[in-house]
Chain A
Amino acid sequence: MNPNLRRRPGALSAPLQDMILICALISAVLIAGFSLAGCEPAEQSGAIAPDAATALAAQSASQNENIDVGADEQTRVETPAPAPAPAVAEEKLWAGLPLKEMSRLGLKDLALNDYENEWRAGIESGGLVRVHTYATVTEAKEAFRFHAVASSSIWSDRPTTRALPGEEATGDGEGLLVLRDRNLVIYVQSPGGTAHDTAGRILNALVDTYPSDVYQERKVGDDIIRWDSVGRRTVVATP
């Protein structure tokens, strides 16, 4: 399990948190065991290996515990736009970050992803932020495991030296940080070493109310894509 897992202060009571941690540990052991038991080591090969999950599972076991981004991702379709109301009644979801807060948070040059629920912005002091919004916490957890691997191509055993924000997080918190909180995955790259602070500011500015306004609308291919003011993307018209 990622040693950097942290909860947002006051989010859950301590006993409940402990229960969740125990459950998570059991799940992790089961998943890791399943992954390792069912996988052959990937052969070094000059062509695409038949089962891409194999190598990723090996990677999960060796470096990023519980990260298992398997071949099923190959057939994944685009993440649907989040529904106005949470998919599971009791699941708390973030709506997103009010985009009007960007400059107050030290962010600039907003770029809205035309193809998925993701936006990115530059950090005034250097670096960039990506915020991925998922329909459910489960999806976000799965995505976090992937982004934790894909965020960096370093294979090393460098220890993380500080506490990280978010419900799950990885990275050194200085130059690089990937975290998940509820249904959001936030990625911060900060050459100036302030990833932790930037992520904290973003987390504190998140809202869970769903606006009905339109921030931007444009044509992408044959689709009409709309973003609302908290950076959520919706396909509003497809021929």
Chain B
Amino acid sequence: MAMHGTFARTGPFTRRLLLAACLMLCACTNKLTQETADTGPEPIEPNATISAAPAFDPLLRGSATWLVQSQGAESLRVDIESSDGTIVISSEHEIPEDGVVSGSWDGRDTSGEYAGTGSFTIVATLSNDLGESVAVATHALEVVRAGFLTSYLEDDDGTTATRTPLYWHEIGELQDVTAPMSELQSLEDEEGNAQDFPEITEALDIPELGMGQPAAFVWDSRPILTLVPGNTSLLGDLNLENTTVDLQVDGWTVISEDVPLDGETPVVLQPDEALSNGPGVYDTKLLLSFVVESESGTEWEVGSQVLPIRIYMLYDEPSFQENGERYNPWVAVVDPVLRAIDGVDPTHDAVTNAIVNHVFDDLGLRYDINYGASYYMNYAGSGWNRPHFYLSQFLKRQYGYTVNCSDCAVILAAFCNMVGAELNHLIILSNFGLNEILAIGQPDFTSCPFGSGGCGFSYHAVTTDDAGQTIWDATLALDGDDNPGASPSEVLMVEAIDGQEYLDRLVRSGNAGYYYESQGTLQ
């Protein structure tokens, strides 16, 4: 009635349209009813399809997952058969209503031992309710072993990457940049587990045996990573000849010849872009993924291996004027320094300013307000132009945390030159009274850092890169307000300050000038 009433209220065109639709629907329904009546329910031909990876590495991936989609059967038996037809392992399954059964194989036989590498077949056999076999599906599965034993980080003489050897000061040894960054003796450990590459050593003074080594590159480098594959395994032959296994690393591209992993040919990769935006520490664990492609084009991960990497991203190559192995970045210096300045803009002044802050704030140093004497350096021979820094002793804080200006100048210069920001030692002479200063590690501004009767410097050591036109000083902060000679005082860190302004703010009385720009030596 309601439908009829609605029909009556529609216009003549709409009524004709609805009528036509109704007639068509009736005709279709009639045809379907006739066909069903003629043939009855179509019997379902028992069938099954198997979805699984074409290959897997039981030690890297743990197990290969398979999925059987079936119709027209009551139960399913899955066998893993070796290439000679031997059944390695079997499993029985009731087929649920949706016909989907899944499982996995860990590469082991019924006794729990690895079946080894080679060509295997997943055989899915469907049975009816009488237990009779009604259909069989198969899927080829290669069991492979993949992995690398040795990794190298190299440069290409500055075209896309510049590497600098690191210096292990405790043994006085310069890193061999052609030596492996990390390496394994075998693909598996003594328990038969697949091995990732070792962690990077946390020691900063001497390389640890069996650990990975850090590397140092100029910050905008794209380091070249070479990986040498292992060629033997506890599982036997690697079985890489029957399938195409490729290496994929997120953010890196394989630049060596496009040869699938074969257990012999090294694979060379390079990051798609610089690893950082400036100086700092690139600390990561690269996931080396071994990938195979099925006939349908689907990519499957065979397994993966982890490669820890630590790269000290320098501002530039070391800027020491002295030659010798020790005038390279010391691990014990660049590790904490680059972590402290991580994220700084890649400019000389920004890097140097950040290192001034690091020395002034982070190292726990305090000015020797009793004598203004140096603990970790002396001027060699009898000249200001030959500062000699006992850096090894400083790193141990062998004489404690008390320092003077010469110490701070050599510390700052050494740190900066190691990360590639050139800085030189500079002497201010002589005998001048002080405005308000905040000496390193001291709580308050004062113009008499040595107490009454000690209101001046006989000399002062700072750093520069341009003969005193620009000054950096980690010994003290200046009073940055309009009256640097009186309280209150405003902290002005000495970071790229004009040389004349520095003297104007530092010196209350007497004559002071810059002399003896030099870099000196260290040990």
Q: Do A and B bind each other?
A: yes
Interface residues of A (CB under 8 A from B): 41-49, 52, 55-56, 58-59, 62-63, 69, 73-74, 76, 78-79, 109, 111, 113-116, 118, 120, 122, 126-128, 130, 139, 142-143, 145-147, 149-158, 175-176, 187, 189, 191, 218, 220-222
Interface centre among A42, A113, A191 (most CB of B within 10 A): A42
> If the complex has contacts A111-B393, A152-B458, are A74 and B383 also in contact, measured as CB distance less than 8 A?
yes
Distance in angstroms from A15 CB to nearest chain B CB is 32
Question: Is B81 engaged at the interface, CB distance under 8 Å to the other chain?
Answer: no
Asked whether, in the complex, the Cβ of B379 is within 8 Å of the Cβ of A155, the reply is: no
- Distance of A222 Cα from B469 Cα, bound (Å): 34
**Chain A residues within 8 Å of B393, by CB:** 109, 111
**Chain B residues within 8 Å of A43, by CB:** 511, 513
- 5 smallest CB-CB distances across A and B, nearest first, come from A46-B500, A73-B383, A46-B499, A153-B372, A55-B429
Query: Contact string, B131-155, partner A, CB cutoff 8 A, digits 1/0?
Result: 0000000000000000000000000
> If the complex has contacts A44-B513, A45-B500, A152-B373, are A59 and B468 also in contact, measured as CB distance less than 8 A?
no
**Chain B residues within 8 Å of A153, by CB:** 372-373, 404-406, 457-461
Question: Is B12 engaged at the interface, CB distance under 8 Å to the other chain?
Answer: no
Residue in chain B with minimal CB distance to A73: B383
- Distance of A220 Cα from B381 Cα, bound (Å): 17
Question: Is B498 engaged at the interface, CB distance under 8 Å to the other chain?
Answer: yes
**Chain B residues within 8 Å of A74, by CB:** 383, 385, 516
What number of A-B contacts does a CB cutoff of 8 Å give?
A: 195
**Chain A residues within 8 Å of B433, by CB:** 155
Question: Is B432 engaged at the interface, CB distance under 8 Å to the other chain?
Answer: yes
Of the candidates A63, A116, A175, which one forms a contact with B381 in the assembled complex, judged by CB atoms under 8 Å apart? A116
- Distance of A157 Cα from B426 Cα, bound (Å): 25
> If the complex has contacts A128-B399, A153-B404, A221-B324, are A52 and B515 also in contact, measured as CB distance less than 8 A?
yes
- Distance of A56 Cα from B459 Cα, bound (Å): 9
Asked whether, in the complex, the Cβ of B514 is within 8 Å of the Cβ of A146, the reply is: no
> If the complex has contacts A115-B521, A116-B388, A122-B399, are A154 and B458 also in contact, measured as CB distance less than 8 A?
yes
**Chain B residues within 8 Å of A73, by CB:** 381-385
> If the complex has contacts A122-B398, A127-B399, are A49 and B513 also in contact, measured as CB distance less than 8 A?
yes
Residue in chain B with minimal CB distance to A109: B398
Asked whether, in the complex, the Cβ of B370 is within 8 Å of the Cβ of A175, the reply is: yes
Residue in chain B with minimal CB distance to A57: B430
**Chain A residues within 8 Å of B502, by CB:** 46
Query: Contact string, B356-374, partner A, CB cutoff 8 A, digits 1/0?
Result: 0000000000000011111
**Chain A residues within 8 Å of B460, by CB:** 153
Interface centre among B172, B371, B433, B450 (most CB of A within 10 A): B371
- Distance of A80 Cα from B517 Cα, bound (Å): 23
> If the complex has contacts A47-B467, A76-B383, are A154 and B431 also in contact, measured as CB distance less than 8 A?
no
Asked whether, in the complex, the Cβ of A47 is within 8 Å of the Cβ of B381, the reply is: no
Asked whether, in the complex, the Cβ of A79 is within 8 Å of the Cβ of B381, the reply is: yes
**Chain A residues within 8 Å of B431, by CB:** 58-59, 62-63, 155
Distance in angstroms from B75 CB to nearest chain A CB is 78
Residue in chain B with minimal CB distance to A41: B511
Distance in angstroms from A171 CB to nearest chain B CB is 8
- Distance of A224 Cα from B339 Cα, bound (Å): 36
Chosen A-B contacts, 14 in total, with CB atoms closer than 8 Å, are A43-B513, A44-B503, A46-B500, A59-B430, A78-B381, A139-B382, A146-B383, A147-B382, A150-B378, A153-B372, A153-B373, A154-B457, A155-B455, A220-B324
